Amino acid sequence: MQSMQSDSSTLPESAPFLRPLAFPRGQVARNSLWLAPLTNLQSEADGTLSDVEERWLLRRAEGGFGVIETCAAYVQQSGKTWPGQLGVDRDECLPRLRSLASGLRQRGALSIVQLFHGGARASRALAGDLVSATAHAVGDDHARAATDEDLIGTIDSFRAAALRVAAAGFDGVEIHGAHGYLPAQFLSRTNQRDDRWGGSLENRARLLRTLVQEVRRALPDHLVGVRLSPEDYGTVAGIDLDETATVAGWLAADGVDFVHASLWDHRQPSKKYPDEAPFQRIRAAVPLAIPVVAAGAFWTPAEASRWMHWAEALPAADGSGGAVAVALGSAAIVNPDWPAHAAQPGWEPTRLPVSAEHLAAVAVGAPFIDYLRRRRGFVADPA
């Protein structure tokens, strides 16, 4: 992997992540630190935002994050994947969403809702019919191939959800094209369709591009971004780094304001090109003016600084260097004040595992703590 510059964190006030982050349509985040989208199962059973989930997000805005992104929020019941998942699928969700959007704005953060459809990975019990690019077995169950009518309905639902989110007062949306959910099921080489939604990369990318184009058209002035998995990871199959880079370039041309690369571990080299980090090819495909965000195992200010110095110097599609941002997931769950503290010399974030008491004290509600217990090494004490 291309070497990163030496640690610059001895002068935290000059840390690159504290610099404002400018987006192509003029929005500016107060810094380049982003709360990664985190499924937390804290919504009401009908998908309405709860007080607990609102508090969880407001607390991270109070801690200084420049951009606060919600968990994956389903746009259509057929995409609902977890009990307690946030829904943005109908107007009844609006009052609570408005409250969250205004609370985040009052606390100085830009706000983004992650728009999501689980496809074959949705919950049969919650979603009913499971649809995907291609019919296939899902454990003991199966998903059927989405029809044109299904896809038109899904595209309409993404557009309507985006308009709803904007009406609620959020600064924008991110379309979840990563992690093997519906748009990624189409993008994947496992897509066996022989119609205009499958086959060539152009066809496999059509669903994601149509979602971006339609949402962009619906929200000309809001932030519209996309999250991508650069290549296979865990259970995600059929995602090729060169294809992801090509698609990232197309999505930039389609008008996204940012590209969010879900790396899981920013230090890991590419599987396809072991001398490189996957991020390099994504940055290289996207014009300078469009920030590229990275998430994956950032814990300390030193790690974030080191990575940003390296990433800011990378070639972009139309020159050298371009805005980048760091998204924190696990570190932000445990350390809600990470951005505020990172400016203090010598501050070290709390590391895993942490107690349930610690999590409760930093506005992580009981359903989220239970969910985190499923992740090995996160919560120290037994349930």
Which residues of this chain interact with ligand FMN, rule CB under 6 A?
36-39, 71-72, 114, 176, 178-179, 227, 262, 264, 295-298, 328-331
Pick between residue 29 and residue 184 the one whose CB is nearest to ligand FMN.
Answer: 184
| Measured CA angle at 294 (ends 236, 5), to 5 deg | 125
Is the distance from CB of 286 to CB of 256 less than 8 angstroms? no
Pick between residue 176 and residue 204 the one whose CB is nearest to ligand FMN.
Answer: 176
DSSP 48: P
Q: Taking the complex as a whole, how short is the minimal distance between the CB of residue 327 and ligand FMN, in angstroms? A: 6
Q: Where are the beta strands (DSSP E) in 117-271?
A: 131-132, 136-138, 141-145, 172-176, 223-228, 258-262
Q: Taking the complex as a whole, how short is the minimal distance between the CB of residue 123 and ligand FMN, in angstroms? A: 14
Cβ-Cβ contacts under 8 Å for 169 (sequence gap 6 or more): 97, 98, 101, 102, 105, 111
Pick between residue 71 and residue 245 the one whose CB is nearest to ligand FMN.
Answer: 71
Which residue number places its CB atom closest to ligand FMN? 329
Pick between residue 4 and residue 328 the one whose CB is nearest to ligand FMN.
Answer: 328
Q: Taking the complex as a whole, how short is the minimal distance between the CB of residue 194 and ligand FMN, in angstroms? A: 30
Pick between residue 230 and residue 317 the one whose CB is nearest to ligand FMN.
Answer: 230
- Amino acid symbol at 353: P
Pick between residue 117 and residue 317 the one whose CB is nearest to ligand FMN.
Answer: 117
Q: Taking the complex as a whole, how short is the minimal distance between the CB of residue 232 and ligand FMN, in angstroms? A: 15
Pick between residue 220 and residue 377 the one whose CB is nearest to ligand FMN.
Answer: 377
Pick between residue 152 and residue 366 the one whose CB is nearest to ligand FMN.
Answer: 366
Q: Taking the complex as a whole, how short is the minimal distance between the CB of residue 282 and ligand FMN, in angstroms? A: 14
Residue 116 burial (C-beta neighbours within 10 Å; 0-12, 13-18, 19+): buried
Cα→Cα distances 187→22, 209, 263, 299, 370, Å: 29, 10, 17, 31, 32
DSSP 382: -
DSSP 3-state of 349: coil
Q: Taking the complex as a whole, how short is the minimal distance between the CB of residue 365 and ligand FMN, in angstroms? A: 13
Q: Taking the complex as a whole, how short is the minimal distance between the CB of residue 320 and ligand FMN, in angstroms? A: 27
Beta bridge partners of 228: 261
Going by C-alpha positions, the residue among 226, 316, 291, 227 that lies closest to residue 263 is 227
Q: Taking the complex as a whole, how short is the minimal distance between the CB of residue 371 and ligand FMN, in angstroms? A: 6
Helix (H) or strand (E) holding 295: strand 292-295
Is the distance from CB of 21 to CB of 294 less than 8 angstroms? no
Other beta carbons within 10 angstroms of residue 358's beta carbon come to 16
